[in-house]
Structure 1
Amino acid sequence: MRAVSAILLLAAIIKVATAAPTPLFGIDFGDININTDGETSDADATALSQEDITNTLVRPALFARVAYCSSPAVLNMTCGEQCDALPNVKILVAGGDDGLVPNFFVAHDVDTDTIVVVHQGTEPANLLSDLNDLNFFQVDANTTILPKANEDVKMHDGFAYTQERTADVVLSTVQSALESTGAKKVLVTGHSLGAAIASIDGMMLRMKLDPSIAVTTTVFGLPRVGNKAWADLVDSTLGTSFTHVTNQHDPVPQVPPQFVDFQHPSNEIHITGVDSSGNTATAQRCPGQENQNCSPGNSLLDLSIDNHRGPYFQNISMGNKFCPV
């Protein structure tokens, strides 16, 4: 409840601040690009089959869940049922400090012959606190990491800098793994903050790896990472190989706010309901950017932090408490 209240307070502050001729609470909102014309879509959403959920979303979600376990447990795949759900996975590197550098790992999924990159999120209330503490300033894209990004692309400073801390080891490990295993596929995934980092990783890998390598980026509970130019770059670079899954009334995809020049890319899949067992979800594909028939159309008065944690489907929930090892 406190996290949702923080969103509402932030929205009210920004609304007042955009009209204020002088700084509010010592914050000069003149330095923030207020975008009152963010692009939205009202295209009809289409139902996603249970087969599609099973074939395209479940495995990435299982990997994203494991990222909340400790690095030593992940390295040895001894994190209990979370690791047991992913047999025949060889961990190539695992690191992070569960803080400044969120936990991450790179693995060879032998059953699908795929190199997998996974990033940990933060506890949902902490992420909302960070995002709502007036922490939505933008920086230029790092063109060493994203060489195809032009000067119009702006990104959330915290997400960009966090991704930079692991970019070199992720890239080098993936390159080595592709060579040593002969795999031709890469999957990048994560939840919450991990989804934001994974989105940037997916772009980095697509730009730096050989075009013959299939790079799929599937993330969960994604906050907005950058501006409209960023969203357009994701669309043109990753296309339908990028998917971001939102769960019912999860507040995290609503932040940072669109009206301060943040924009989601296309290819949202929105879960509209999950049965009482947590196993079966109904979901829909949402054409275009910021489709108002999906998560971006949620009312700020009807948000649920529990939806951010899950379950998403097949009783998969994400967060530190779901992987205590």
Structure 2
Amino acid sequence: MPTIQSITIIPSLPDRLMPLMTIARNLWWTWTPEAIHLFQDMDRELWERCRHNPVSLLGTIEQPRLEQLERDDVFLARMEKVQRELELYLKAQTWYKKISKNRDDGIIAYFSAEFGLHESLPLYSGGLGILAGDHMKSASDLGLPLIGIGLLYKHGYFQQYLNPDGWQLETYPSNDFYNMPVSLVRDKEGNPLTVHVKLEGREVHIRVWSLNVGRVKIYMLDTDVPLNSLSDRQITSYLYGGSLETRLQQEIVLGMGGIKLIMALEQCPSVCHMNEGHSAFMAPERIIQIMRKDGLSYNVALEAVRATSIFTTH
């Protein structure tokens, strides 16, 4: 059945509790014990059911409990303290600011097929993703001018369980992006930002979401767009799922789509870092963009990309 209209219902928090949503939508809270305990103490049972996801918690907690918390001076004081700590963290002098003396060296673009940031964001499967997540958190603490580029999977990686006969099976839960701390990136006119890549002569539309990790952002690419065919909408459905063709399509979306996104954001990367080879198509797309923008020959553009690309192997 075709979709006639999509409606997104946003939870209504009392005005005095609105700082909770600001805190929940920045993964700074995941390495800040006071913030974790703040959400946990709102409703411990619901916190476990929500898999420690504060955005989901705030959207499902019962209204009487919110009204109770709104009148709880001790809770409000704790919330305001955490809010101040987040604001101070975002504004603080960082290591990079000190050594760079505020000069503009351009951004570092970090490409990864998975980011292991927290259990409430099931967009990773193992060590490669955990490394990428820790890389982003460290970049935030250091104040590096770094952005992450990844894929926003509708189902992510599988979860395992045992059936009544003791056999290990897996399931692919659906990710509800509107109950995750991600936001649609919009263009200057306020419309959802989209970039495009060519796959076998057809144009694939890519929607862009952003995720705040302390001081840095991760931009995540999503092909589940109504303008795409059903098969193209499923390109970003599963992490390491599907056929070899699907995996290749994912790598084109990540690498080439990621560079096109950076151009759409009017950013100029001084370095592009590939976390394993999933984003290898980033390199030829950079060469194409440099040749077009700067009028350089292929050989010169190739050397420029070679000198400003980093690769981490696993």
Query: What is the TM-score when the length of structure 1 is the normalising length?
Result: 0.26
Which of these two proteins has the greater Rg computed from alpha carbons?
2
Flag the structure with higher helix content.
Answer: 2
